[in-house]
């Protein structure tokens, strides 16, 4: 199998079957033999999903009749053919020839002629076709209409910057394991290895790579010297301010990025990492093993503590709640396609329930950190304001910081601000 065939198969699963890119990409890439083929397939999968609304509008404009559902792979070839000629530096003739060849690899030689005709028709009249589809905001901005509406309502002055940031490639950010060495020492190791990098602002252990790279190329990755984690996510451990001897609950812990950072930052603590998804909890285990860190892992529902709580209160609780992930679209462009408008109210309801039932598990004087990678007020400040109004033994501990924006309650980072992912944090203190 070659890169375009692999990418078409992956994209057909995401677009046709609603599968998440993160869940299906790795095993397909593993079937490609060369590094270059894997990198190309990955770039095409992410790129097509990033620009899907615009590419889909072009495909619709260029096809005389829609393809059948069972030919989602052929439609994916058309999308990735257009992606190559619009957004990549692949020469036009190579993009057309290789994409036509991929139709044969998919076992659909009849589609070769169609792919050839659609791509050549586009190339003959590209400026005019792009101008035509870009009349529509959904295509031009490559976001679904309902999401644009939510962004405009929530961020009337910033929504365009949000959309632009969502369509950009994110930086690769590392977290240096403080148990092994300081950030400056690791930066010198990277320099010796010929990997250009600089310190990430606002976080103590963050390093921004000039170019993304395979983790296998990172010095000491297998030995646990370093992990991949955006700067915005690295703020959680800083804000939680865990002290020696404390009992900490990470209520939605998988894959374990923040739990590991908390453990790296403070020795001699007792951390419980809870998650309802057994497969994702295995990833916490794998990550902690690589980093040589220990925690108590529990598979359980954060909204039903009676089933797993041992009755001893926690000094710190982190609720990194399941959310719309609207702050991390640049990293997970399939969110634009897989998320549905109804999801937002359902997620807000679940987050509210989790807050309510986890609060009694916190010791008086303890701190509760609520976090989401959402930029929607329904999941963030509205949630926390409602909670603070109802909960008489809770007060907000204002976050005094130079990153993000203060909101009615908590602090919001918008995507791309300070180079970070979109994230929301609120610190709640128990009286």
Ligand X SMILES: C[S@@+](CC[C@H](N)C(=O)[O-])C[C@H]1O[C@@H](n2cnc3c(N)ncnc32)[C@H](O)[C@@H]1O
In the complex, least distance from residue 280 CB atom to ligand X, rounded to whole angstroms:
5
By beta-carbon proximity to ligand X, the closer residue of 350 and 401 is: 350
The smaller minimum CB distance to ligand X, of residues 256 and 419, is found at 256
Q: Which stretch binds ligand X (CB under 6 A): 116-124, 178-186, 253-261, 402-410?
A: 253-261
> For ligand X, which residue of 256, 305, 404, 415 counts as binding (CB under 6 A)?
256
Stretch that binds ligand X, among 78-86, 249-257, 333-341, 413-421 (CB under 6 A): 249-257
**HSE-up of 310 (CA within 13 Å, CB side)?**
9
For residue 49, how many other CB atoms are within 10 A of its CB?
25
8 A C-beta contact, residue 187 and residue 207: yes
Q: Which CB sits closer to ligand X, 97 or 356? A: 356
- The answer to whether residue 198 is catalytic is no
Q: Which of residues 220-239 bind ligand X (CB under 6 A)?
A: 233
CA-to-CA dists, residue 258 to 50, 96, 227, 360, angstroms: 26, 44, 11, 22
d(CA 171, CA 308): 38
Helices (H) and strands (E) in the chain, counts: 18, 13
Question: How far apart are CB 258 and ligand X at their closest, in Å?
Answer: 4
Query: Judged by CB, which is closer to ligand X: 103, or 371?
Result: 371
How wide is the angle at C-alpha 81 spanned by C-alphas 77 and 83, nearest 5°? Answer: 115
Query: 259-288 mask for ligand X (x: CB under 6 A)?
Result: ---------------xxxx--x--------
Q: Got the DSSP string for 239-258?
A: HH---TT-EEEESS-TT-HH
Q: Is 146 exposed, middle or buried (0-12, 13-18, 19+ CB in 10 A)?
A: middle
The active-site residue, picked from 252, 323, 373, 427, is: 373
What is the spatial distance between Cα 151 and Cα 147, in angstroms, rounded to a whole number? 6
CB 209 → ligand X: shortest distance, Å?
20
CB nearer ligand X, residue 101 or residue 172 = 172
SS3 category, 226: strand
Residue 126's SS3 state is helix
Given phi > 0 = left and psi -120 to 50 = alpha, else beta, which region is 311?
A: left
Contact by Cβ (8 Å): 296, 387: no
Q: Give the residue, chosen from 302, 317, 394, 413, that forms a contact with ligand X under the rule CB under 6 A.
A: 302
Stretch that binds ligand X, among 120-128, 248-256, 355-363, 404-412 (CB under 6 A): 248-256
Residue 162: CB minimum distance to ligand X, A = 19
Closest by CA to 240, choosing from 338, 330, 319, 332, is 319
Sign of CA dihedral 126, 131, 134, 135: negative
Shortest Cβ distance from residue 233 to ligand X (Å)?
6
CB of 23 to ligand X, least distance (A): 12
Residue nearest to ligand X (CB): 252
> Can you state the angle between helices 72-87 and 35-50, rounded to 10 degrees?
90
Residue 296: phi and psi, rounded to 5, are -90, 120
98 scored as a contact of ligand X (CB under 6 A): no
* Residues in 304-343 at the binding interface with ligand X, rule: CB under 6 A: 320, 322
For ligand X (CB under 6 A), the number of binding residues is 18
CB–CB of 147/154 below 8 Å?
no
> Given the complex with ligand X, which of 9 and 336 has the nearer CB atom?
336
77 or 369: CB nearest ligand X: 369
Task: Rule CB under 6 A: say whether 299 interacts with ligand X.
Answer: no
Among 28, 48, 133, 253, the residue binding ligand X under the rule CB under 6 A is: 253
Extended beta strands in 251-313, E state? 270-275, 296-299
Rounded CA-CA distance 46/328 in Å is 13
Q: Which stretch, 5-13, 152-160, 251-259, 415-423, contacts ligand X (CB under 6 A)?
A: 251-259
Please report how close the Cβ of residue 349 comes to ligand X at its closest, in angstroms.
12
- 197 by DSSP, 3-state: which? strand
Among 92, 132, 301, 396, binds ligand X (CB under 6 A): 301
Q: CB of residue 413 vs ligand X: minimum separation in angstroms?
A: 15
Applying CB under 6 A, which of residues 303, 313, 357, 388 lies at the interface with ligand X? 303
Of 271, 244, 276, the closest CA to residue 260 belongs to 271
Q: Based on CB atoms, which residue is closest to ligand X, 98 or 301?
A: 301
407 binds ligand X (CB under 6 A): no
Residues annotated as catalytic (active site), given as ranges: 373
Binding site for ligand X (CB under 6 A): 233, 252-258, 274-277, 280, 301-303, 320, 322
């Amino acid at each position: 199998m070659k890169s375009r065939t692999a990418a078409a198969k992956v994209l057909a699963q995401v677009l046709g079957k609603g599968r998440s890119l993160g869940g299906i990409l790795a095993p397909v890439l593993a079937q490609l033999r060369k590094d270059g083929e894997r990198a190309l397939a990955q770039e095409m999968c992410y790129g097509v999903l990033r620009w899907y609304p615009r590419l889909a509008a072009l495909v619709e404009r260029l096809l005389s009749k829609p393809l059948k559902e069972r030919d989602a792979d052929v439609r994916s070839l058309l999308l990735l053919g257009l992606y190559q000629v619009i957004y990549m530096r692949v020469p036009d003739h190579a993009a057309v020839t290789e994409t036509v060849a991929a139709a044969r690899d998919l076992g659909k030689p009849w589609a070769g002629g169609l792919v050839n005709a659609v791509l050549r028709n586009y190339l003959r009249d590209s400026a005019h076709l792009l101008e035509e589809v870009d009349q529509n905001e959904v295509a031009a901005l490559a976001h679904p209409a309902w999401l644009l509406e939510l962004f405009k309502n929530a961020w009337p002055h910033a929504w365009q910057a949000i959309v632009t940031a969502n369509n950009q490639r994110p930086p690769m950010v590392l977290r240096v394991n403080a148990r092994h060495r300081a950030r400056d020492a690791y930066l010198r190791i990277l320099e010796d290895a010929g990997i250009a990098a600089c310190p990430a602002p606002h976080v103590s252990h963050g390093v921004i790579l000039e170019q993304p790279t395979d983790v296998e190329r990172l010095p000491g990755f297998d030995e646990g010297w370093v992990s991949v984690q955006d700067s915005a996510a690295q703020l959680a451990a800083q804000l939680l301010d865990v002290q020696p001897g404390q009992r900490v609950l990470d209520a939605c812990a998988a894959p374990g990025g923040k739990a590991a950072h908390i453990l790296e930052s403070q020795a001699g603590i007792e951390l419980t990492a809870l998650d309802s998804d057994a497969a994702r909890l295995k990833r916490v285990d794998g990550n902690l093993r690589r980093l040589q860190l220990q925690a108590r892992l529990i598979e359980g529902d954060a909204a039903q503590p009676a089933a797993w709580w041992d009755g001893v209160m926690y000094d710190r609780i982190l609720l990194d709640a399941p959310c719309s992930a609207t702050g991390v679209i640049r990293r997970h462009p399939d969110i634009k396609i897989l998320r549905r408008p109804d999801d937002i109210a359902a997620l807000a309801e679940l987050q509210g329930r989790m807050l309510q039932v986890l609060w009694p598990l916190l010791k008086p004087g303890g701190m509760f950190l609520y976090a989401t990678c959402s930029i929607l007020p329904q999941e963030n400040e509205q949630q926390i304001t409602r909670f603070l109004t109802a909960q008489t033994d809770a007060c907000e501990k204002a976050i005094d910081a130079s990153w993000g924006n203060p909101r009615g309650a908590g602090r919001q980072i918008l995507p791309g601000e300070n180079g970070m992912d979109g994230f929301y944090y609120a610190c709640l203190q128990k009286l």
